[in-house]
Structure 1
Amino acid sequence: MKNKLQLLIIALATLLLGLSIWQMLETPTMILPSWFLILLFVPIFLFIAFILGSLLKVLLKSDWNKLTFTSIFVIIISSIFYFSQYKATYKIIIPESYSGEVRLFVSNEKENDFIINNYGIGYINKGTFDSGFHPKVLKGGNNITEQTKNYGKGALATTVRDLHTYDYLSFIVPSKDGNVEGKSVEDLIRIKAIDTTRLYNRPVVSPR
């Protein structure tokens, strides 16, 4: 019975460690690639779990092996990391003919609108904007998530008279030849490609 319980703990630790590594691979990074972070942090994480497990075994004077106690800390730390990093996945539908910068403007609505128009504009509610999410980008029925790049946040300040700022997320959908095309936000507002009545207005703090 004791051996079966230890095997169960080790198996659960292996499963949760795998989920944590998958979570790290799914998390976009701005500088270093995800696989580099895994190679850097996973050995450190396992070493810390081993040290803590060894100390716990000594303190409890248990006849369980060190791998079991190491696995207990792997379960604890992996669970904390996985659930702290978990984000929902949302589909972003791109028009088949569109390439260039896609902008998801923060809206004053309860629902996200990730069906992108022909000018690369969609709308994201403030809750999703603040908490983040994993994008699944579809174009013409094909998953092009791996081809998209340059994820980031932007803001458009209105005139001094309005004193409001419109926030947005953006990423690039390259064309087949690798070129990036697109209009400026100001041009898109002028031609009414952006519905400003749907946008969340963030008040700008005026300098004193």
Structure 2
Amino acid sequence: MKSKSQLIIIVLGVLSLCLGVWQMMQTATMILSPWFLILFYSFITICVSFVLGYLLKKILKSTWYNVTFASMFIMLACITFYVTQYKSTYEIVVPNNYTGEVKLFLSNEDGNDFIINQYGIGYIDENTFKDGFNPKVIKKNVDITKQIKQYNRGAFATTQKSKYSYEYLSFSVSGKVEDIDERDISELIKIKAVDTNRLYRKH
């Protein structure tokens, strides 16, 4: 009976670790590769879990294997990580012929507008901007999320006279160099590619 219980706990520990790894793969990173973070944090989690498992076994004076107690701590760590890192997934639809930087401006509206216009502009509401989300980027009815290498956060300051700024999230859609739209934000505002009436103004 004890052997079956330990086996179940160990299996659940392995499954929890897999769940944690999967969640880390879904988490967009700014600088380091997701695989570096997966290997680093998995190693730390396993080592700490075995140390804590060993201590708990000694405290309880149990005859169970150390790996069983370690699996308990792995389950606790990975499930906690999954719950805290879970974010809603939103679909971002990019125009079929668009190549370049996509900008999601923080809006003053309730609800997101992730249908990107021909200039690479979309709008994100305050709650989604603050809480974060898992993007699913669609182009030509194909999921290109894995092609997106980096997500950034930025702000565009207006003139000194107005003294406020617009915040945004951005990522780049790869393609032919000659097709890339390189217009900056001030140019996009001038040609009314960005609807400033919809933007949240940070003073």
Give the TM-score band, short-chain normalised: over 0.9
What TM-score does the superposition give when structure 1 sets the normalisation length? 0.91
Q: Aligned with 1:118: secondary structure? A: coil
Q: Which amino acid aligns with 2:37?
A: L
8 Å contact from structure 1 (residues 165, 202) kept in 2 = yes
The Cα shift of 1:193 comes to 1.1
Correspondence list, 1:11-90, <5 A: 11-90=11-90
Q: Greater relative contact order (Cα 8 A, min sep 6): structure 1 or 2?
A: 2
1:206 is matched with which residue?
Answer: none
Q: Give the count of matched residue pairs.
A: 203
Q: Distance in 1 between matches of 2:179 and 2:193?
A: 22
1:170 is displaced (CA, Å) by 0.7
Unaligned segments of structure 1, at least 5 residues: 204-208
How far off is 1:48 after superposition?
A: 1.0
SS of match in other structure, 1:202: coil
Alignment of 1:174-189 (within 5 A): 174-176=174-176, 180-189=180-189
Do the aligned residues in 2 keep the contact of 1:104 with 1:124 (CA within 8 Å)? Answer: yes
Relative to the length of structure 2, the TM-score reads: 0.93
Match of 2:107 in 1: 107
Is 1:103–1:122's contact at 8 Å kept on the other side of the alignment? yes
Percent identity of equivalent pairs: 51
In the TM superposition, 1:102-141 aligns within 5 A as: 102-141=102-141
Structure 2 unaligned regions, length at least 5: none
Write the letter of the residue equivalent to 2:105: F
Contact 1:121 1:194 (C-alpha < 8 Å) held by counterparts: yes
User: Are the equivalent residues in 2 in contact too, given 1:172–1:180 (CA < 8 A)?
Assistant: no
Q: What secondary structure is seen at the aligned counterpart in 1 of 2:124?
A: strand
CA distance in 1 between counterparts of 2:179 and 2:195 reads 27
The alignment partner of 2:167 has SS state of strand
After superposition, the Cα gap between the structure-2 partners of 1:22 and 1:108, relative to the gap in structure 1 and judged at 3 Å, is same
